[in-house]
Structure 1
């Protein structure tokens, strides 16, 4: 019996990304990663084919649970007001998020990065829109380790203007307003299941260090949805507004 390797799963995901095969509806049990570390190993293999890493996405199911993450490549990072190509994503799950840009690098090293070191490396806070996508037929249809292996279902990230005085903001108490085609679909305070995003940034710095990747200066890290995921079609205008921080908009062609 042939042994399935991480390269087999990476090849499947890359084949879908390159439009050489269709997103699968069902995946054989033999292809499901047996652990979160196996899923990250697949991420690393896929990442070798996606170009430079420009940032990360990090999230957590609860304020106490172990976070999870995926690298974000420069090819899927856009600036405020961008029009995204119609064929960039298979799905367009809109999420309003808060992101941080690192002014200083946190490279791999033997000792753990401390909370103080990580926070001192942050330069700015940003409003952001993430598009959830998947290389499977339906979002959320597979084992969670498969979705982790699939770059944690990342599609694209649109980043708004940064604010240097990031320490004055408390993300869990910030208001967020998400507008789609001029219709308000979310307006509330907080909303991120992970709670404090700074906890996740410290975790990510050490996780990325252990993976021998690190966090480069200029990297943008988005910290999870504050609005849930709303799937939209083509020719859609999206605005995510955090009144105290700023707003970001995108046109999904």
Structure 2
């Protein structure tokens, strides 16, 4: 049974109040717990529309053949060219090194699916990035994956590094990277994204995930999933991710 519009609105109001008042939720209202992905996306979309314009997206998948999932991101948690964020912004600080695509042209919702080449032609630049994972719930992940999906896919902030000079020559699947936290090497991997090819994710987002918002638009920033897994760090920590040939990004959560 599809969640009622009243239940969607109740869940969205609870999540927005948790953001505004910085009072995490032990539970969503009983009638407003998502029972399936459709419910979770309905809540997520309602929250996003109440926050304001969508300027970016996150998309990922649990494996190369798995159905992707996505969440919209807004200007208030999208940062470019910064090396410091305040720890007070977050309840928990789960850092992930990721690869980001920035679009130069629209990929609007349409009946005919966008092809891989059409999606690539819409890309303007490729960037290294950090996503900070956070939660509006009392305990990270405590209410399960559907509740997390409803809560913006555990998004806290997206920090985007400099554009790669020749992104067409970069293959994210074979891209090496390292991640250091406070000078300690925590990750040294090739690829690292369990979803495999991120262009598959980008095409799915254009064709399905972003449809409630009219598709993707020029200037949108899309992060395509963790290459490192989520590493929870303490306030004051400094993270440095190096993607040879793509770029380097550093962030202190002060």
TM more than 0.5: yes
Partner of 1:166: 167
Asked whether 1:14 is paired with 2:16, we answer yes
Q: Report which stretch shifted further, 101-110 or 128-137.
A: 101-110
State the secondary structure of the residue aligned to 2:148. helix
The answer (yes or no) to whether the contact 2:131–2:156 under 8 Å persists in 1 is: yes
* TM-score, normalisation: structure 2: 0.92
Cα offset, 1:125, TM superposition: 0.9
Give the Cα–Cα distance (whole angstroms) in 1 for the partners of residues 206 and 28 of structure 2: 32
Distance 2:213 2:97 in 1: 30
**Pairwise CA RMSD:** 1.8
* Contact 2:70/2:209 (<8 A) preserved: no
3-state DSSP of counterpart to 1:49: helix
CA distance in 2, matches of 1:91, 1:209: 27
Q: Residues 161, 3 of structure 1: CA spacing in aligned structure 2 closer, same or farther, 3 A cutoff? A: closer
Aligned to 2:59: 58
- TM, length-normalised to structure 1: 0.93
The count of residues paired between Structure 1 and Structure 2 equals 251
Q: C-alpha distance in 2, partners of 1:214/1:29?
A: 32
The equivalent of 1:103 in structure 2 is: 104
Map 1:1-253 onto structure 2 (within 5 A).
5-19=7-21, 22-27=23-28, 30-208=31-209, 210-253=211-254
Shift of 1:99: 0.8
**Distance in 2 separating the partners of 1:192 and 1:64:** 13
- 1:78 deviates by 1.0
Range that drifts further, 170-179 or 147-156: 170-179
Q: Any gaps of 5 or more consecutive residues in structure 2?
A: none
SS at the partner of 1:63? coil
Write the distance in 2 (CA, Å) between the matches of 1:78 and 1:116: 28
